[in-house]
Amino acid sequence: MSTSPFAPAYPEGTACADIAGVQVPVRFSDPTAEYQAVRERAALFDLTGASVIEIGGPGATDFAQRVLARDVEYLTSETTMSSLVLADDGSVVDQVVVWGREDGMYLESSIGRGAELLAHLQERAADADAVTVTDRTDEFGLFALEGPYAWGVVGRVIDAELAAMPFESIVDTRWDGVDIVFARAGLTGEYGYKVLAPRESALDLWVKAAQEATPAGLEVLELAMLEVRQPVLRHETADSAGASVLEMGANWLVDVSKDEFVGRDQVLAAFEAGSTVRTIGFSGTGPVPEPGTEVTVDGEAVGEVVYATRRIGADDTLGLARVRPELAAAGLRLTVADAEVSTLTSPYVTPRSWSTPII
């Protein structure tokens, strides 16, 4: 059981959960306050629970091109991007954030999927040339600042220049004498920044950030991700078995114009073969349905709930369902466990950042 390097700074009453053997903070104080922080000001997220795996060696880029579904040909030590990692059968192993490094790159797993990702990569590396796969999670502390005014926090607490970095760029820089890797990237649709720091110095930086931004737990993070259709892998892939790219609607995390990568042919074949089920968002007023709950129309089963959750700041539930392709559209009324739900257009909440300029 491992804990977060930021745990010593958690307020009294922080609720944690065991996610794949890691103590992840789910709620720090009051979820409503935490949610307001991410949608109205700036929230601080502890990303412990994500693994950081280094791909190194002279064969790193070639290896990455094989295991990642998107193209890293132009990845530099100043860029970051998201990509899926697929299995041989085209199912999703994980969604990773790729951090370009001078030599090689880091792959940051989604929360809770680090072990699956590592196992998959190690297996693949076994018959690859000149590449090393190293789990470096324990060497780092990783946190994120997200919100319409996250840039202001970055400006006040770290550096004003960093606040205006281009989206998906990273920079090696120093913060209070600590060498960090700083990224402009996020998960909630608001302005997002991430700090990857050496574990032994990370706590101090968290404390500084917490003076200006509100610590927010996994509950709020995953709700905010759902609200902008950012995949939450640990909910969207059933058990540990992979889900299908097309069923998840994660097409944009796969680049089929890249010549070769694990799972490419399977995904393309599935695309050609036409739809099985498709994912659509919904909201409703009933109790929160369990994953797997049937979705019906006029009593006829048309799909099932992937997962759902109670909204914060509104009285309803928000969730994803997998339904027949011809019904995977917004603007429909369906039934979930005797309650009426409406299917939605993404994003389900408009990030305030879209209309807030960085000054």
Partner 1 sequence: MATRQVVVTGVGVICAAGADPDQFWQRITAADGGITAIEDPRYSAFDARYAGQVPDEWIAPQLPEGDQGLDRTAQLALVAARQALSQAGVDGPDPTRFGIVLGKCQSTPDGAGGYQPMHATGDVVAGRVGSAGPRILVSTACAAGGNAVGLAKDKILTGEADLMLAGGVDPLLFGTYAGFAGLQALSTGRCGPYGRSDGLNLGEGAAFLVVEPLDLALARGATPLAEVAGYGLSADAYHATAPDPTGRGGISAVRRALADAGLEPERVDYVNGHGTGTPANDAMEKKVMRAVFGDRAATVPTSSIKSSVGHTLGAAGAVEAVASLLALRSGVAPPTIGFSEAEVEAATLDFVPNAARELPMDVVVSNNYAFGGNNASLVLTTPAEPRAYEELPAADVVVTGLGPVTAAAVGRAELVTALDEGRRAARGELPDLGGRTYAPRSLWRHMNQLSRMAIAASRLAWEDAGLKMTRAEADKVGVIFATAGGSVESTGGFDESVLANPNNPAVLSFSNVVLNATGGAVCQALGLRGPTTTICHGGASASIAMDCAVETIRTGKAEVVVVVAADEADPRLDQPDLVPATDGTPYEAMLAGASGAVALVVESARHAAERGADPVATVLGSAHTGTEELTDPLSALKDTWDLVDLVLGTGDPAEASAVRATLGAPLSTGTGLTGDARAASGALNLVLAALAVRDGVAPALSSLARPTVGSRTDYVTSSRLPVPARAALVLSQAAGSVCGATVLGRP
Partner 2 sequence: MSTLEELRAVADARRQTCTQIKKMIVTRLDLMIDPEWITDDQPLFGRGLELDSLDVLELYVAIEAEFGVALYDSEMSVFGSVGRLAEHVNPALVEQPA
Nearer to partner 1, 177 or 357 (CB): 357
Between 274 and 357, name the residue whose CB sits nearer to partner 1. 357
For residues 54 and 137, give the distance between their C-alpha atoms in angstroms, rounded to a whole number.
9
Question: Toward partner 2, which CB reaches closer, 177 or 331?
Answer: 331
Which does residue 358 bind out of partner 1, partner 2, none, counting CB within 5 to 8 angstroms by kind?
partner 1
Q: Does 189 bind partner 2 (CB under 8 A)?
A: yes
CA dist., res. 4 & res. 226, Å (int): 24
Write out the E strands in the chain.
15-19, 22-27, 43-46, 52-56, 80-86, 92-100, 105-108, 132-135, 140-146, 170-175, 178-184, 192-198, 214-216, 278-284, 294-297, 300-310, 317-323, 333-336, 339-344
DSSP state of 345: P
- Answer for which of 78, 135, 139, 316 binds partner 1 (CB under 8 A) is 78
76 binds partner 1 (CB under 8 A): yes
Residue with tokens 């409703």: 284
Query: Which of 27, 124, 194, 229 contacts partner 2 by CB under 8 A?
Result: 229
Q: Does 300 bind partner 2 (CB under 8 A)?
A: yes
Count the neighbouring beta carbons within 10 Å of the beta carbon of residue 345.
Answer: 11
Q: Which of 257, 315, 338, 359 binds partner 2 (CB under 8 A)?
A: 257
Q: Which tokens belong to 359? A: 């000054």
Shortest distance in whole angstroms from residue 77 CB to partner 1:
5
Separation of alpha carbons 16 and 7, rounded Å: 10
The two structure tokens encoding residue 207: 């404390």
Pick between residue 154 and residue 305 the one whose CB is nearest to partner 1.
Answer: 154
Count of residues that interact with partner 2, criterion CB under 8 A: 33
Q: Which of positions 316-355 make contact with partner 2 (CB under 8 A)?
A: 326-335, 345-347, 350, 354-355
Residue 181: count of CB within 10 angstroms of its CB: 20
Is position 270 an interface residue for partner 2 (rule: CB under 8 A)? no
Q: Which of 238, 227, 234 is nearest to 291 (CA)?
A: 238
Segment 232-261, which members bind partner 1 (CB under 8 A)? 255, 257
182 close to 169: Cβ distance less than 8 angstroms: no
Query: What is the smallest separation between the CB atom of 277 and partner 2, expressed in angstroms?
Result: 13
Select from 18, 89, 138, 161 the one that contacts partner 1 (CB under 8 A).
161
- 235 sits near partner 2 (criterion: CB under 8 A): no
> Would you count residue 228 as binding partner 2 (CB under 8 A)?
yes
Q: Which is nearer to partner 2, 174 or 333 (CB)?
A: 333
Q: What does the block give as tokens for 270?
A: 């599935």
How near is the Cβ of 185 to partner 1 at its closest, in Å? Answer: 15
Long-range contacts of 175-179 (CB under 8 A, 24+ apart): 175/205, 176/204, 176/205, 176/208, 178/204, 178/205
Residues that bind partner 2 (CB under 8 A): 82, 167-168, 189, 228-229, 249, 251-252, 256-257, 271, 281, 297-298, 300, 302, 326-335, 345-347, 350, 354-355
